[in-house]
Amino acid sequence: MNNVMRAEAVVDLGALQQNLRSLRARVGSAEVMSVVKADAYGHGALPVARAALAAGTRWLGVAKPEEALALRAGGIAPEQARILCWLWTPAAPWAECVAADVDITVSGVWALGRVAEAVRAAGRPARVQLKADTGLGRNGAQPHDWPELVSAARRLEREGLIRVTGLWSHFACADEPGHPSIQAQLDAFHEALRVAEAAGVQPEVRHMANSPATLTLPEAHFDLVRAGIAQYGLSPSPELGTPADFGLRPVMTLQAPVASVKTVPAGHGVSYGHTYVTPGRTTLALVPLGYADGIPRHASSTGPVLLGGKWRTIAGRVAMDQFVLDLGGDAAEVGEAAILFGPGDQGEPTAEDWARACGTISYEIVTRIGGRVPRRYVEA
């Protein structure tokens, strides 16, 4: 019998490295940034970053300054990896990030002011990457603000306070090939590059592609692609293809030992609210993972789990710490493995199956797996 010791997320770093190699083979002379924001989409930022660097990656990407500092504090030295960070607010640890040699993304002139102060505090110049809003409507400078941002950055560069290391932007609909916004964003990015380069900016890297653009849009590869979900072996969208279609293998397996098995009569309510009532005499298995562990409460009565060689469906509500499976009278033993999702090759559901069941995307399924779930790293 397939027993497991504890509820855990098994993270296959060998698969992660293989996924990065597969992505690299796709992008020619461009480099692949390993995006490790949000604790590496729930996989563990430091172990993932170390594995990515061992596989030849030179760039790491994070959203928040604290994430960048945590990587440096965890021993990822500036000689080993550049770290690009893209979501800043006025009270962020600007000076600490300059001191830690983080590439700071700037989308507005106000942020250049914070960088200049941080440079004085840190006593060393900053690396800055300018971000253009080419149509996503999130962060980045609008085309009419871009020339002013570029010239303000060039002034600081001439004063020796900063070096503009990159120019970049982000897609809105790269997961829908042929969407008209894609070409419009590419055109807008080329125009932003032209304006910046005419003003004397000499970026080390120009970049625009996330995973879907990395997989489907060679004209968006430029010098660097920012790969998030694809390096974790998941497809950016089921419409684009399966992970295997892109040479990718899911990195995370979520499993737990069954904590209780018992026989109950027909008509027995299961879990809070009795939203599920046993249709006949049956066996119930209790799985020690709940919404505090990141199992969506939306998986109530719908999330799929492999137990005893069959897919079962969660019976009734997902609780904070646990949920129940109706085994339809089949036997099971305490300690036996319930596999929620994984690569799929033992017949288990995938994160994509969970996304479909819960009306969300696989990104959210893996990223929400919480801090209470231990990660076990393997190189299978």
Q: Name the residues that contact ligand PLP, by CB under 6 A.
A: 35, 37, 63, 86, 170, 210-211, 226-230, 236
Helical spans, DSSP H, in the chain? 13-26, 37-41, 45-54, 65-73, 94-99, 109-122, 146-158, 180-198, 211-216, 351-358, 362-367
* CA atoms of 257 and 265, how far apart (whole Å): 24
What backbone phi and psi angles, to 5 degrees, belong to 243? -55, -45
With tokens 């932007």, the residue in question is 169
For ligand PLP, which is the closer residue by CB, 63 or 184? 63
The answer to whether 138 is annotated as binding is yes
Active site residue 363: no
User: How far is CA 170 from each of CA 194, 220, 231, 243, 330, rounded to the nearest angstrom?
Assistant: 17, 10, 18, 22, 50
CB of 366 to ligand PLP, least distance (A): 11
Active site residue 310: no
* CA atoms of 211 and 317, how far apart (whole Å): 34
Are 335 and 326 in contact by the 8 Å Cβ rule? The answer is no
For ligand PLP, which is the closer residue by CB, 245 or 333? 245
Largest Cα separation within the chain, whole Å, is: 79
DSSP 273: G
Catalytic residue among 64, 131, 272, 291: 272
CB of 41 to ligand PLP, least distance (A): 7
For ligand PLP, which is the closer residue by CB, 119 or 128? 128
* CA atoms of 1 and 337, how far apart (whole Å): 8
Are 6 and 334 in contact by the 8 Å Cβ rule? The answer is no
The answer to whether 320 is annotated as binding is yes
Are 106 and 128 in contact by the 8 Å Cβ rule? The answer is yes
* CA atoms of 5 and 123, how far apart (whole Å): 51
Catalytic residue among 37, 232, 276, 291: 37
DSSP 257: E
For ligand PLP, which is the closer residue by CB, 146 or 323? 146
CB of 337 to ligand PLP, least distance (A): 29
* CA atoms of 154 and 161, how far apart (whole Å): 10
For ligand PLP, which is the closer residue by CB, 232 or 276? 232
CB of 141 to ligand PLP, least distance (A): 14
CB of 136 to ligand PLP, least distance (A): 9
Pick out the residues of the known binding site: 138, 320
| Catalytic residue numbers, as ranges | 37, 272
Annotated binding site for substrate: 138, 320
